[in-house]
């Protein structure tokens, strides 16, 4: 892409399958905008904002992720927050992973009942919190909702969904999974982390976004029919807001078609991901615990050094990637969040490794601690 008039190599977009600029997608988006405009359908789904295409997309998504029914969401963040609020009442208990996304946290802030946090991906910690929650709901006659992510978007590690599902033999709970980074990238057909781990049946409520592998706007929740029917009439962010405009719906149908019929898109994504991650590790870079396409590169340094690193990468080497610093990561840690896509090339990887090595050396020499960057 271009940044301030200069061509840059971008590793910062969640355009996993390269659909954002795919010619068939661009054509479908443009034709749908020409046919329908951005206004139609006006209104919320329950009033005047429904169409056969909205229902078709929900039906095809249900089939894709192997669930009975689906509800479309106009935005992922507010849809997730509102769904958490809708699914529980004061008698219920939420048990959630400590590294859950902000949209989950905001949804839980509206919950008037109890919530317990378990240490990230720690099944023994989860077991402890489920025991606590079980004692509470015995008195309230409520239920337990466990919330986690399929892929954690910063560290890149998959949630331990299979092990969580296995806990259903010991505890009575429903599992709600935010699979924003898993849908389209994991599983034999791209149906996400549950498919990858062979436990999709054990996920009671499944959330997927259109903002990443689909490269558009919106989201969806899939579950058994009675739960989706309940959400249609109780998810406030959808009841009191305009439904997805027609070009986004028709565009999502085209994107889903390509996901299902062009396995080479996901295959090439993983070819680039494996090449990038293996070469980074071989060159001594710390990638933490990632086992997904999300590629965090951990370096040592403070905020000033981080700003200089990212500026040097962008201005002097034409590499655009995201920087993460404290409090998201520990103090004196810099995380470069690198997102490979299907449309990156082997030459992109080679060049990036070369420049990252130069940056690592300059960081070790203390050059980024100076007032001005030492130009390459």
Beta carbons within 8 Å of 129's beta carbon, 6+ residues apart: 95, 116, 117, 118
| Spatial separation of the C-alpha atoms in residues 188 and 178, rounded to whole Å | 19
Nearest to 146 by CA among 174, 123, 120: 174
| Spatial separation of the C-alpha atoms in residues 103 and 227, rounded to whole Å | 20
Beta carbons within 8 Å of 30's beta carbon, 6+ residues apart: none
- Give the CATH number of domain 2-20+263-369; options: 3.30.460.80, 1.20.58.740, 3.40.50.150, 3.90.1150.10: 3.90.1150.10
The C-alpha angle 272, 277, 280, rounded to 5 degrees, equals: 125
Q: What is the pLDDT of residue 10?
A: 94
Interval 209-239: pLDDT, tens? 999 999 999 999 999 999 999 999 999 999 9
Interval 340-374: pLDDT, tens? 999 999 999 999 999 999 999 999 988 888 766 55
What is the pTM assigned to this prediction?
0.93
Q: What is the pLDDT of residue 329?
A: 86
Note the CATH number of domain 37-261. 3.40.640.10
Beta carbons within 8 Å of 257's beta carbon, 6+ residues apart: none
* Phi, psi torsion values for 372, nearest 5 degrees: -125, 145
Q: What is the pLDDT of residue 42?
A: 81
Q: What is the pLDDT of residue 252?
A: 97
Q: What is the pLDDT of residue 46?
A: 85
Q: What is the pLDDT of residue 296?
A: 97
Domain ranges of the chain: 2-20+263-369, 37-261
* Phi, psi torsion values for 320, nearest 5 degrees: -110, 110
Q: For the chain, which ranges sit under pLDDT 50?
A: 376
| Spatial separation of the C-alpha atoms in residues 162 and 140, rounded to whole Å | 29
**Sign of the C-alpha dihedral computed for residues 133, 136, 138 and 141 taken in this order:** negative
Asked whether 175 and 164 are in contact (CB, 8 A), the reply is yes
Whether the ω angle into residue 41 lies within 30 degrees of 0, i.e. cis, is yes
């Amino acid at each position: 892409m271009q940044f301030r008039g200069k061509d840059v190599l971008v590793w910062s977009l969640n355009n996993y399958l390269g659909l954002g600029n795919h010619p068939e997608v661009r054509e479908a988006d443009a034709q749908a905008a020409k046919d329908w405009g951005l206004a139609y359908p006006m209104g919320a789904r329950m009033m005047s904002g429904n169409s056969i295409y909205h229902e078709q997309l929900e039906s095809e998504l249900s089939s894709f992720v192997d669930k009975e029914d689906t509800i479309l969401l106009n935005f992922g963040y507010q849809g997730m927050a509102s769904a958490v609020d809708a699914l529980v009442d004061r008698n219920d208990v939420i048990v959630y992973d400590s590294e859950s996304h902000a949209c989950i946290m905001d949804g839980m802030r509206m919950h008037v009942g109890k919530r317990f946090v378990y240490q990230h991906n720690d099944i023994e910690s989860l077991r402890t919190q489920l025991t606590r929650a079980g004692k509470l709901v015995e008195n309230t006659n409520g239920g337990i909702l466990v919330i986690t992510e399929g892929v954690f978007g910063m560290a890149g590690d998959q949630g331990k969904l299979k092990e969580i599902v296995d806990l259903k033999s010991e505890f009575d709970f429903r599992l709600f999974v935010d699979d924003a980074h898993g849908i389209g990238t994991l599983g034999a057909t791209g149906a996400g982390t549950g498919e990858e781990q062979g436990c999709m049946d054990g996920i009671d409520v499944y959330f997927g976004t259109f903002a990443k592998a689909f490269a558009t706007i919106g989201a969806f929740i899939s579950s058994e029919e009675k739960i989706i029917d309940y959400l249609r009439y109780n998810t406030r962010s959808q009841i009191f807001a305009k439904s997805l405009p027609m070009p986004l719906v028709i565009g999502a149908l085209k994107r889903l078609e390509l996901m299902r019929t062009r396995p080479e898109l996901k295959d090439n994504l993983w070819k680039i991901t494996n090449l990038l991650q293996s070469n980074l590790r071989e060159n001594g870079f710390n990638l933490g615990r990632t086992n997904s396409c999300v590629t965090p590169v951990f370096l040592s340094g403070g905020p000033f050094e981080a700003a200089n690193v990212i500026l040097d990468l962008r201005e002097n080497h034409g590499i655009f990637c995201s920087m993460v610093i404290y409090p998201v990561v520990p103090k004196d840690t810099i995380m470069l969040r690198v997102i490979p896509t299907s449309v990156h090339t082997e030459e992109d990887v080679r060049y990036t490794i070369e420049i990252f090595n130069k940056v690592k050396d300059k960081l070790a020499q203390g050059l980024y601690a100076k007032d001005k960057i030492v130009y390459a």
